[in-house]
Amino acid sequence: MKIYTKTGDTGTTALFGGTRVPKDHIRIESYGTIDELNSHIGLIRDQELTPDDKKVLLEIQDRLFTIGAILATPPEKEVLKNGSLRLQKLGINSQDIQLLETQIDTMEAALPQMTHFILPGGHTTVSYCHIARCVCRRAERLAVHLDHLEPVAPIVIQYLNRLSDYLFVLARKLSTDWNTEEVKWIPRK
What is the CATH T-level fold of the domain 19-107+116-178, as seen in this structure? Hypothetical Protein Ta1238; Chain: A; (1.20.1200)
Q: List the chain pLDDT tens, one digit each, 189 residues.
A: 677 777 676 776 666 766 777 577 899 899 999 999 999 999 999 999 999 999 999 999 999 999 999 998 887 655 555 444 555 456 789 999 999 999 999 999 999 888 889 889 999 999 999 999 999 999 999 999 999 999 898 999 999 999 999 999 999 999 999 998 888 888 888
How far apart CA 161 and CA 155 sit, in angstroms, is: 10
Q: For the whole model, what pTM was predicted?
A: 0.89
| Domains of the chain by residue range | 19-107+116-178
Give me the torsion for CA of 98, 15, 76, 155, rounded to 10°. Answer: 10
Of 95, 93, 90, 72, the residue nearest 155 (C-alpha):
93
What is the rounded distance in angstroms from the CA atom of residue 178 to the CA atom of residue 123?
8
